[in-house]
Structure 1
Amino acid sequence: MEMNATPTVECQMMIRKPLETVFQAFIDPDVTTRFWFTKSSGKLEVGKTITWVWEMYNVSDDVTVKEIIPAKKISIEWDNPATTVDFEFTAVTDENTYVVIRNYGFQQTGDDLIRTIKDNTGGFTTVLDGLKAWLEFGIELNLVRDKFPDIKQN
């Protein structure tokens, strides 16, 4: 890595579904809630700020949609401090789509930056795994819900 290179989280996955189906899975909260967050204030549209909710953790995030290139790219800004997340979609065949998620613009440094990159890499990998299970097999794996269960220890 160059000295001035911007730290970037990058996760990717082949989804064995057509490009438009995979793209819409991130635009339409009726689909996204099957593998990521539990509630949304609406569909992603350029210029809108949408609230995503993870009820099981009592957490929500406001997401500002910066750019949508139909069937190619979704770019959002989210989190605190704000970072950019790009979702990029490539049709490999008529029935296979390659998804790449890139998260960048981190303000943290040192150990805080390392912890954030580790957490975001794991988080976006979990999202892609859940997406694959839902779209390809119709199975809700509850990966995000079960990532940090409320376990009472005696």
Structure 2
Amino acid sequence: MKSTQLEIQCSMQILKPVNEVFEAIVNPEQMINYFISKSSGRMEEGKNLTWNFPEIEMDVPVKVAKIINDKYISYYWENGESTQLVEMNLKPYKDGFTVVTVTEKSMENTETGIKWLKENTEGWANFLACLKAWLEYGIHLRKGAFDYRFEKK
């Protein structure tokens, strides 16, 4: 029997050690350089946070689930009408680099689920590219990238 659940998974190698990548993901002072515009706090196990994104005026509730220092981060966030689990695995790679794998799950294999799969796969690929650009080169790659999507017409 085929699974009716859709799941997103994206990976990228970051040319920085795992402890630097981990800190950039859990520390809101770093996250504002490549992902969010504001957070109510640092990602810590069991903590409820609110994130804001640069392109939209919307509070996004985040419930941090599990944190394993320099290895694993998981949280739940609301995606409109449902809540998804996001997992980030960090694995050291040769020469002191890090492979980051982001998994978001899950949605039913319906028209709504397929739309979520498309949009959030694009979003996680962008997250990884922006994280890489920030950590390796200090570039704010996300700035202005999605303004056109949220312009009021």
Q: TM-score when scaled to structure 2?
A: 0.90
Identity %: 31
**Which shows bigger deviation, 50-59 or 23-32?**
50-59
How many residues are paired up?
150
Report which of the two has the higher share of strand: 2
Match of 1:39 in 2: 38
RMSD, matched Cα = 1.8
Distance verdict in 2 for CA 1:110–1:53, change over 3 Å:
same
Partner secondary structure for residue 146 of structure 1: coil
Match of 1:15 in 2: 14
- In structure 2, distance between residues paired with 1:64 and 1:86: 12
- In structure 1, distance between residues paired with 2:104 and 2:152: 33
Match of 2:128 in 1: 128
Match of 2:61 in 1: 62
Q: Deviations over 1:61-80 (max 9, x none)?
A: 11101100111100100013
**Runs of at least 5 residues in structure 1 that lack an aligned partner in the other structure:** none
Aligned runs of 1:51-130 on 2, under 5 Å? 51-80=50-79, 81-106=82-107, 108-130=108-130
Distance verdict in 2 for CA 1:61–1:71, change over 3 Å:
same
The one-letter code matched in structure 2 to 1:100 is T
- In structure 2, distance between residues paired with 1:49 and 1:152: 31
Deviation, structure 1 residue 56: 3.1
Partner secondary structure for residue 99 of structure 1: strand
Partner secondary structure for residue 145 of structure 2: helix
Q: Deviations over 1:28-71 (max 9, x none)?
A: 00011100010000000111111110143112211101100111
- Structure 1's consecutive aligned runs of 4 or more residues displaced over 4 angstroms after TM superposition are 150-153
The one-letter code matched in structure 2 to 1:78 is W
- In structure 2, distance between residues paired with 1:5 and 1:152: 36
The one-letter code matched in structure 1 to 2:100 is V
* 1:11–1:102 CA contact under 8 A, matched in 2: yes
* 1:19–1:94 CA contact under 8 A, matched in 2: no
- In structure 2, distance between residues paired with 1:109 and 1:148: 29
* 2:55–2:147 CA contact under 8 A, matched in 1: no
Q: Deviations over 1:15-37 (max 9, x none)?
A: 00000000111110001110001
* 1:27–1:44 CA contact under 8 A, matched in 2: yes
